[in-house]
Amino acid sequence: MDFLDRLRDKAAVQKAERFFPAIAFLGGFSWDSWTIGSKVYGTDLVFLSFYYLLALVSIYFIATRHVAVVEVCSASCTEIREENPNFFSRIFRREWPASWIERLTWVVQFCFGNLYSALVICYFKSSGSIAAFLIVLILAALLVGNEFLKAKYEDFGVCLAFFCLLGTMFFNFLIPHLVHGMGTFWFFFSTLLSAAICYLLWLKFSREFSRNRHLLIAPVVVSVALSIAYLVNWIPPVPLVLKHQIVCKNFDVETYSCDADKLDFWQQVGLRTASIHKEEDEEIYFISSVYGPAELKAPIEFRWYYMEPSTNKFKLTDKISSSRMVIRGGRDMGYRSFSRKKNTPIGIYRVETAYKDGAVIGSQTFRVVEGLPKHGFVRDSLR
């Protein structure tokens, strides 16, 4: 370690160290975007679990500022222990040097950064509403802020607050992969599990902190805030991801193909509302595919909104769900499902694909128009 300390004292290394946080941030986020951004593998979950556990151990030692010294006990050691029972307690508990505290805070920062990076990508992929996107923005802000909080992580209370937040969000993503299910029970299980681990950390070291209960305020506030956000459907429904969606007519359930308007350039880039032209009494279909992990089963529903011409506000008109609308994960292109609507007056609609009675996975706004489209129809399908 003396070699590393001498190396860091050099002027060139000190200048280069200024760029290390930015390089680590961009490198880690780019790697996560390339790997987790395409598909979550078992190895990804193992690595994220490792980061969580490594952060847990590091916070453990930051809190106590002690280290266990491993001694090989011989017969003489046994005799010493019998003569002085407090001898081994003094050996096994000594103060961490300041240099090691700095290294531990770097480990915490590194682990938190990797967890933030992965969670931003995973929650962004599942966010289908403005409220859910705000949660992602908060995670993104914390991801950036993490690069400047290394010194703050020497404070056990600060570590505990962020560790509770990351733990809840991480378990909410991890548990559905393990139990092949999701929903209210599993979210609150994730919240309680994360809060319990933080409480045990505090309880373990309450003597060192003279039972300062104010250290538990931040974890409690975080847990309550996330619970409220979940109940109002602000938390993205991870790990579900919308892959594709189409509004069309003349739907063939065997091939999941249908006739959709051929979109012009501005509609393709999202600068103009998509459209679907229909004749009188024709049915409108909305089909979508949602990806979930292998063996996961999750019910979904379609929510149809119509923009009232008098108020220019969307009003919920139909909430469609059935026994066939249960995602069975594992298909790379997503589980396919559809809904249809008869007697659709002309106007603007929005259809949401959502976890049943839960958060929105994705949505699309389109205009229903009578007659034939200017650019004709195209036969489209969900693969």
Does pTM surpass 0.85?
no
Amino acid identity, residue 19? Answer: F
pLDDT at 258: 94
Residues carrying CATH 2.60.40.10, the chain: 242-381
Of 271, 252, 250, 253, give the one whose Cα is nearest residue 261. 250
75-123 per-position pLDDT tens digit: 444 444 445 555 444 434 445 566 677 888 999 999 999 999 999 999 9
Contact (CB, 8 A) for 33 and 25: no
Lowest mean pLDDT among 60-69, 208-217, 305-314, 340-349: 60-69
pLDDT at 226 over 80: yes
pLDDT at 210: 54
Kindly state the average pLDDT of the residues 31-48: 75
Mean pLDDT of the chain: 84
Residue length, the chain? 383
326 pLDDT tier (thresholds 50, 70, 90): very high
Of 382, 321, 308, give the one whose Cα is nearest residue 352. 321
Write the CATH number of the domain with boundaries 242-381.
Answer: 2.60.40.10
pLDDT at 20: 59
Residues of the chain by 3-state class (helix, strand, coil), percent to 5: 50, 25, 30
16 pLDDT tier (thresholds 50, 70, 90): low
CA angle, 122 then 123 then 128, to 5°: 125
pLDDT at 39: 75
333-352 per-position pLDDT tens digit: 889 999 999 888 999 999 99
For the record, the structure tokens of 5 come out as 């300390």
Of 139, 135, 113, give the one whose Cα is nearest residue 31. 113
